[in-house]
Amino acid sequence: MAITVHFELAVDAASSSALVVFVGAGGHLSAGAQAVESAGGGQLGRAMKAATFAGKKGKFVEILAPAGIASHRLIVAGIGDPAKADARVFEDVGGGIAERLQTLETKVVADFTGIADMAVGTDVAAVHFAHGLELRNWRLDTYRTKLKEEQKPKLTDVVLVGVAESAKPLNERLQKVAAGVHFTKWLVTQPGNVIYPESFVEHCRKAMEPLGIKITVLDDVQMKALGMGSLLGVGQGSVRRERIIAMEWNGLGEGAPAPLVLVGKGVTFDTGGISIKPAPGMEDMKWDMGGAGAVAGCLVALAGRKAKAHVVGVCGLVENMPDGNAQRPGDIVTSMSGQTIEVLNTDAEGRLVLCDVFTWAQQQYKPKVMLDFATLTGAILISLAHHYAGVFSNSDGLWGKLDKAGGAVNDLVWRQPLSEPGGHYDQLIDSNIADMKNLGTREGGSISAAQFLQRFVNEGVEWAHIDIAGAVWRPKSGPLHDKGATGFGVRLVDRFVADTLEA
């Protein structure tokens, strides 16, 4: 939920909110912490000693009803070595504060005065602290009807002390990015009876058209006329009809260059189809539209902050259900590109959706760079767990830019191998009866899925496939998210756009 950020030069002596002060490695007190230590007659130091707290990054000491100050709650936050205390460190600290205080306080006052020799300036540190707090403060309570008052989120305001008004533009930018992350989390967290192809489109219209994003929608009749037999085959067992949504943000105006194209896999619920998944854990398959959710959030963030860039997000939206009309294992479909596909397993459906979206997006927008986000394979979880997304790319330069952007914002990516067309990995998807099959061997499952997609990338297009099956949701909470949807991809793309298109 949105946080209101205030900028003050000094701590309000009458404040009754929670006060946060900072301590570096070795127990080195900031000026704000020293003032509290003096006002309280040494209680801060005694509390630190009792808790064996020495300012380690991400560690906290909490004092209730502290002596000598008006605040009824004092939190001492460790930042580690100040020389290494960069934007990411302060985001994580802000997230930790939100996790502790979300249901306890309405306002947090963070005193940034006198933190010496940081890796970033005070204004940057403070604004990223607020950004981390806002990201971690999001949660979905729509379907909770019996929450007690003390269980409800209360945190709405953060006051940054010792921070100049000149920090406002950066804060406003990051709040727009947070809005994109929150939109992604909201879409991904909703159940399959709320988010399906038609409703996904309508929620995007409502969120995006006021921001100046141009929306184009293809229905199943139009897709059939275009020859999208691969995508349509996935959805033919569902009563929910397929959609493609294109969301275009042009922050450069007339004469803008070819857009960066983002493609998202939007399987709004995935039973596996006739190759049905086991029942335990199937409820998690509401998250199989996480790629589409990430792309939608990217557009909200970029348009919200009025990025000086031309970006189009295209999402293929289907529901994969078992039915008397559902696609069968062994069926052969013809993609929009004209290439034929033997469907060995109807649960390898994401690539069947994406390949037709690739073809249409490249014909429509003529991109030079295309990124796709997809919860494509369980195999990437085996490789990377929930900590990284796997990247497969035909361009070393593009990979390097994604790696740099992801590292800067903690949307971490790790490169995976990819063969040239006809190479050893590519041969895994050769079919005896069609141009290709939609399933390789059990070994290298994520690689063969990427090889499949590469066959639909036009010559000359720099492309990266980002498999976010492990990164889109996590079974445990992290510094910037509760357990569940992470919003992965939004900040990665925002930073990538800033570094490569707006630099």
Token pair in block for residue 462: 């720099």
Domains of the chain: 4-163 (3.40.220.10), 175-500 (3.40.630.10)
- Output b/e per residue, 45-71; b: 16+ Cβ within 10 A: eebbeeeebbbbbebbbebeebeebeb
pTM recorded for the entire structure: 0.96
> Which class for 385: exposed (0-12), middle (13-18), buried (19 or more C-beta within 10 A)?
exposed
As a whole number of angstroms, the longest Cα–Cα distance in the chain is: 82
Range with lowest mean pLDDT among 1-15, 114-128, 416-430 = 1-15
**Residue 478 carries which DSSP code?**
B
Q: What is residue 234's predicted lDDT score, i.e. its pLDDT? A: 98
- Choose among 152, 393, 459, 13: nearest CA to 401: 393
pLDDT digits (tens, 9 = 90+) for 322-348: 999 999 999 999 999 999 999 999 999
The pLDDT confidence band at residue 315, using thresholds 50, 70 and 90, is very high
The pLDDT confidence band at residue 17, using thresholds 50, 70 and 90, is confident
Mean pLDDT in residue range 41-46:
95
Q: What is the set of active-site residues?
A: 277, 351
Does position 133 have pLDDT exceeding 90, yes or no? yes
Does position 41 have pLDDT exceeding 80, yes or no? yes
C-alpha span between 337 and 133 (Å, rounded): 46
Does position 16 have pLDDT exceeding 90, yes or no? no
Radius of gyration (Cα) for the chain, nearest Å?
A: 24
Q: What is residue 503's predicted lDDT score, i.e. its pLDDT? A: 85
What are φ and ψ of residue 265, in 5° steps?
Answer: -80, 125
Per the rule left: phi > 0, alpha: psi between -120 and 50, beta: everything else, 430 is beta
Does position 24 have pLDDT exceeding 80, yes or no? yes
Q: What angle do CA 239, 240, 244 make, to 5 degrees?
A: 145
Q: What is residue 2's predicted lDDT score, i.e. its pLDDT? A: 81
Does position 389 have pLDDT exceeding 80, yes or no? yes
Q: What is residue 103's predicted lDDT score, i.e. its pLDDT? A: 95
Token pair in block for residue 464: 């990266």
Residue 108 Cα to chain centre, angstroms: 26
Q: What is residue 295's predicted lDDT score, i.e. its pLDDT? A: 98
Q: What is residue 145's predicted lDDT score, i.e. its pLDDT? A: 93
pLDDT digits (tens, 9 = 90+) for 50-94: 999 999 999 999 999 999 998 989 999 999 999 999 999 999 999
C-alpha span between 14 and 283 (Å, rounded): 49
C-alpha span between 354 and 418 (Å, rounded): 18
Q: What is residue 9's predicted lDDT score, i.e. its pLDDT? A: 85
